[in-house]
Chains A and B, each alone.
Chain A
């Protein structure tokens, strides 16, 4: 590694007080008795199940989907295919699989070093890893997101402290898969133990550049991450669409190594459990689809004492009310807040202080957008950038009047979409 770069700041954004639970080692949760796997692909589109009720499935068996298949996180029997509570709050048609029998061993399909690009991609996707298919076009840069936007999630920090070799292998696989040598590792300078671990890790590799990104939320969003990390030349090429760049998380790098070197299917999720209702916040390794109730009982949390449960991070996550919902592929953080500490502040009149405009990373006018949504003026809302809003929450975070801006923008998107103006779907948790 030649040097450490300083990441660029983008206009807008906010500074969050980060308190990641990086000190506790990753714990693998026991296998649950049942899992709930929603029949949705990585874009949120509905899938048709390939198995029927009563079928026996093995661990990692394909249940639905073709390109990036839905894999079974358990070895057992399909107990039901019906609408099941989902982290988004809706009841989504899901497969409920009950554990039965032994989980077999798994083997890699071959030496990854001898596989070509297409084979590697196919194999990774077969193992449940959702990597983009660029059809062989030029990839200028690989960006590894080795930090988290969320104030409590510490997955990337734990991974570098526990599995640096697997991460190295994963990066090598990625470099081969996308035929791109240049990798940028985006890290935050805190906690210093993780930063120095990443620096030591990157130092031993060629063509790997460490970028120290500033604490600016929401820098984990792909376009903002690229603008913070990549050199201007590459940014210009991205703009002109003459080159492509890929962003992956540190967790994906690890799972890729485990899948292609060890043959392990990507049926697990690394997430951090934190919040005032959790006496010792820590990072867990859970099977995808593990119900929240099982997670709580394994960690010794009393669900009745919890006043708020948030899946997906403190700034973007979805509040939960049914703990039969299962952990999803994107659930990196689980926040459990004690009943006494739940804060529900009512909305007060907007005093037009302008702090939300300063916080918005996408140069939107949240006040105008909010007014348009509230007054149900959908064309005006779209003119003010309704579909450019990434629901990061920086505006609502800064608002002194406690306006529930993200709620209004989601309402606006829902209504505008229902009127047939855009095909974008709401983000799944």
Chain B
């Protein structure tokens, strides 16, 4: 029998390269732990600063999502809001804003971040700068007056039990329960909790660890030991914004190095820059610009672990 006469039954089968089974990971499952990790901080913010917090968060998220969707529409590309990326950017931006900021500020910052720091470079996966941090920088330079207002009052009605104060953990009280100036600074403890959780979810944990090691070292070595290292490094460790920065901004996958060695370099570099900034009594606002600066060098850091033959 010739080949053509032989019976064949398969019709329209999918032909693709292996592997034919996948782990079930998707961009959505990658973003899900972030949502869980940031939830304590959001809950704290809403608890302390109810309507303001809600306004800022809602404006940020909506603006970011709409901006990304608009660009996808204009480009004619498929848009997957499920990826959670735009929502996360809007959320993180809102959390870095001062508590007295108006809602439109969050919207403007999120839109700028998405449009100019992300979509202009090619969209998610192609950007060089963290959209939330770029948006925040834009806001700080354009409307600095909102960043110098006094923060909204707020107090978490909790404190360490007396017994813990006795064993010298009194200073932790401030760390755990005192809110800071920004929306995300309801309590440093909530941020640390979320950040620790995130580090075990397949994110780039070497970066915050490296940064923290160097900041810790700087705290030990500085603070009065040297004439020019006269900064307030110990205070830096209790700044909630440090943990917001290290735990959530510095582990953003697209703008940070891919390889292990590159991540250590980035993390140590970030820690070093934090130390330098604070050693010369730099404004804590400046902390949020540091990953932008280092993000420019991410491809160079990646060369350290290139695995070229």
Contact = CB atoms under 8 A, between A and B. Distances in A.
Interface range for B: 35 or more
A298 interface: no
B10 A321 contact: yes
B202 A355 contact: yes
Interface residues of A, number: 74
Given A321-B15, A342-B14, A396 B20 contact: no
B75 interface: no
Contacts of A89: 15
Contacts of B167: none
Contacts of A196: none
Interface string B6-43: 11111111111111111101110110000000000000
Contacts of B27: 348, 351, 400-401
B289 interface: no
A320 B10 contact: yes
Nearest to B256: A352
Chain B binding surface SS class: loop
Given A323-B8, A323-B9, A348-B80, A404 B16 contact: yes
Given A320-B10, A349-B125, A410 B17 contact: yes
A322 B18 contact: no
B21 to A, nearest CB: 5
Contacts of A352: 125, 253-254, 256, 258
Interface stretch (B219-227, B228-236, B301-309): B301-309
Contacts of B12: 307
A383 interface: yes
Contact of B3 (A84, A316, A367, A398): A84
A313 B20 CA distance: 9
Given A349-B126, A355-B25, A410-B17, A323 B10 contact: yes
B19 A396 contact: yes
Contact of B21 (A151, A399, A406): A151
A142 interface: no
A398 B25 contact: yes
B52 interface: no
A393 B10 contact: no
Contacts of B26: 345, 400-402
A308 interface: yes
Interface string A348-390: 1111111101000001110110000000000000111100100
Nearest to B9: A303
Given A365-B307, A385-B309, A393-B19, A322 B10 contact: yes
Interface string B66-91: 00000000000010100100000000
Interface string B275-309: 00000000000000000000000000000011111
B2 interface: yes
A324 B20 contact: no
B173 interface: no
Interface in A28-65: 34
B238 interface: no
A309 interface: yes
Interface in B241-270: 253-254, 256, 258-260, 263
Interface in A321-360: 321-324, 335, 337, 342-346, 348-355, 357
B1 interface: yes
A397 B254 contact: no
20 contacts: A82-B3, A89-B15, A291-B6, A293-B6, A296-B9, A309-B13, A314-B19, A317-B20, A348-B83, A351-B27, A351-B30, A352-B256, A353-B30, A354-B253, A357-B259, A365-B258, A365-B305, A368-B307, A385-B309, A400-B29
Interface of A: 14, 16, 34, 79-80, 82, 84, 89, 96, 98, 151, 291-293, 296, 302-304, 306-310, 313-324, 335, 337, 342-346, 348-355, 357, 363-365, 367-368, 382-385, 388, 391, 393, 396-402, 404, 406-407, 410
Given A316-B18, A352-B254, A406-B17, 17 more contacts: A82-B3, A317-B20, A319-B14, A319-B17, A319-B20, A320-B15, A343-B22, A344-B16, A352-B253, A352-B256, A353-B30, A353-B203, A365-B307, A384-B307, A393-B19, A400-B25, A400-B26
Interface of B: 1-3, 6-23, 25-27, 29-30, 78, 80, 83, 123-126, 202-204, 253-254, 256, 258-260, 263, 305-309
